[in-house]
Amino acid sequence: MPKLTVTLNLFKYTSKKTSNTSSLVRVLLYIVTVLNLVALAAFVFGLMAGKIPPSSNGYIPIFGLFFPLILFANVVFMVFWLIRKSWFTVIPVIILVFGANNFFDNFQLPFHTDSADNAQGVVKVLTYNVQQFRDGNKTSQPGIQSEILTFINNEKADIVCLQEYQTTGRQIYETLKHTRDELNTGIYYYESYFNPKYDLLSGMVIFSKYTAVDKGKLKIEGSRTFGIYTDLLINEDTVRVFNIHLASIKLGKEDLGFVSSPTNESQEQLKVKSLAIYQKLNKAFLLREKQVDLLKDMIVNTTYPILLCGDFNDTPSSWVYHQLQSHLNDSFVERGKGISITFAGPIPLLRIDYILHSGFKTTQYARHRFKRSDHFPVTASLKLTH
């Protein structure tokens, strides 16, 4: 009899423990389901970011900016439901299929085969935001500049587009000439973001071995120069090359620290800092919209093949990217593999540096893991199609 009592008590204890475990699993599944629904809603808003201009809605572009993270979260949830063999898998699968175009703008399967980049008529292009040759330091470092120029020289690109190219000292233009000679390019075209000071230059530059026949800059009244272009003679064809650096959000270290650890703030500080960051985001979105309108008009009215390189400060899900992609092709989409993260800063999974084109086909594309800036350099080899 005592043995039977012990057995019954053990059964009750086991049943109770199993019941508690089941309850915990149900609670966890409920939490995961809610989080998945939030991620799916964010995914839908991210898809809308490329269709709705920032001037029409100030919140939608934020989902476009963080779309790579949102996409990653949804893929993780989908895998989770697949492992559990749950019917809920159908929902994220349908939504991800619906957003397939955005998916492949952000991620390419590793099935592309590269062609030889030394083939006849192939042009190699390099774009790189060099962060004023600072690599996170407060001042430019000669050693960093030397390493960057050595890397660029080793890539043997025919056209080099640099953003945030900075030089100081009395002979500011001599540095540009020295860089031109070091890269063994015949010409360079430089424009400062703002009016240049006598001892400081900071702006965009195009280096090329091809002959230049025209040049110009792009600027919205009341803001800095955001782009330059030069017309180059390539194999008896005139090609317009744009070097673009669209408006930055200008998040400081304090802003980035808050974004990475918002729970460290009081309720009041959370509101104040969140509003400040939103205002910076919105200001940048609106300015980039104006900049891309001007840029798009120039593209539409250009009769030459186009190479457009630079730092867009926005992702492939953004309004900016979709406006340009409606007229140009993306070298990454044609020959890229994986994600091609080009931003080396604290926000992960961002591709914000591009080589777009018309009148060409891409034969090779590469994002280089060379970290001497808060960006990674990008190269593409392209062949004229006419």
Q: Do the domain assignments include residue 372?
A: yes
Specify the range with the lowest mean pLDDT, choosing from 3-17, 42-56, 334-348, 359-373. Answer: 3-17
Domain with 357 in it: what CATH number? 3.60.10.10
Let me know whether 317 and 199 are in one domain: yes
Look up the domain containing 7 and give its range: 2-98
pLDDT of 119 over the 80 cut: no
Q: Do the domain assignments include residue 378?
A: yes
Per-residue pLDDT tens over the stretch 56-67 = 999 999 999 999
SS3 of residue 285 by DSSP: helix
Per-residue confidence (pLDDT) for residue 120, from 0 to 100: 74
Per-residue confidence (pLDDT) for residue 10, from 0 to 100: 44
pLDDT of 335 over the 60 cut: yes
Q: 138 or 109, which is more confident?
A: 109
Per-residue confidence (pLDDT) for residue 9, from 0 to 100: 54
Handedness of CA 179, 332, 289, 229 (dihedral sign): positive
Per-residue confidence (pLDDT) for residue 11, from 0 to 100: 47
Cβ–Cβ under 8 Å, residues 299 and 306: yes
Specify the range with the lowest mean pLDDT, choosing from 3-7, 107-111, 277-281, 320-324. Answer: 3-7
Per-residue confidence (pLDDT) for residue 251, from 0 to 100: 79
Let me know whether 130 and 51 are in one domain: no
Q: Do the domain assignments include residue 189?
A: yes
Query: Residues of the chain with pLDDT > 70: what percent?
Result: 88
Q: Stretch 251-274: mean pLDDT, rounded?
A: 75
Per-residue pLDDT tens over the stretch 168-196 = 776 777 888 888 888 888 889 999 998 87
CA 305 → CA 61, 132, 231, 239, 379, distances in Å? 30, 30, 10, 5, 18
Highest-confidence range of 178-192, 241-255, 293-307, by mean pLDDT? 293-307
Q: Do the domain assignments include residue 105?
A: no
Per-residue confidence (pLDDT) for residue 176, from 0 to 100: 84
Q: 132: which residues sit within 8 A by CB, 6+ positions away?
A: 140, 164, 165, 166, 202
Q: How many CB atoms lie within 10 A of CB 267?
A: 7
pLDDT of 17 over the 60 cut: no
Rounded distance between C-alpha atoms, residue 336 and residue 381, angstroms? 12
Let me know whether 147 and 58 are in one domain: no
Per-residue pLDDT tens over the stretch 143-170 = 898 999 999 999 999 999 999 998 877 6
Let me know whether 77 and 133 are in one domain: no
Q: Stretch 271-277: mean pLDDT, rounded?
A: 86
Q: Do the domain assignments include residue 117?
A: no
Name 233's bridge partners.
Answer: 211, 238
Let me know whether 290 and 325 are in one domain: yes
Let me know whether 293 and 346 are in one domain: yes
Mean pLDDT score across all residues of the chain: 88
Specify the range with the lowest mean pLDDT, choosing from 20-24, 44-48, 74-78, 214-218. Answer: 20-24
Q: 137 or 204, which is more confident?
A: 204
Of all residues in the chain, what percent are helix, strand and coil, respectively (each to 5)? Answer: 45, 25, 30
Let me know whether 282 and 345 are in one domain: yes
Rounded to 5 degrees, what are φ and ψ at 319? -60, -45
**Plot region of 324 (φ>0 → left; ψ -120 to 50 → alpha; else → beta):** alpha
Cβ–Cβ under 8 Å, residues 42 and 63: yes
Let me know whether 187 and 265 are in one domain: yes
SS3 of residue 316 by DSSP: coil
Let me know whether 59 and 155 are in one domain: no
Let me know whether 71 and 160 are in one domain: no
Total number of domains constituting the chain: 2
Last residue of a domain, one of 66, 98, 130: 98
pLDDT band at 112 (very low <50, low <70, confident <90, very high): low
pLDDT band at 95 (very low <50, low <70, confident <90, very high): confident
SS3 of residue 5 by DSSP: helix
Q: Do the domain assignments include residue 264?
A: yes
Per-residue confidence (pLDDT) for residue 16, from 0 to 100: 53
Per-residue confidence (pLDDT) for residue 150, from 0 to 100: 94
Let me know whether 92 and 16 are in one domain: yes
Q: 178 or 80, which is more confident?
A: 80
CA 154 → CA 118, 151, 158, distances in Å? 15, 5, 12
Let me know whether 257 and 198 are in one domain: yes
Per-residue pLDDT tens over the stretch 185-236 = 888 999 999 887 667 788 999 999 999 999 999 999 989 999 999 999 998 8
Q: What are the residue ranges of helices labelled H in the chain?
A: 2-48, 60-65, 67-84, 90-98, 100-106, 142-155, 172-182, 253-260, 267-300, 319-325, 331-335
Q: 6 or 76, which is more confident?
A: 76
Q: Do the domain assignments include residue 110?
A: no
Q: Do the domain assignments include residue 366?
A: yes
Q: Stretch 25-38: mean pLDDT, rounded?
A: 92
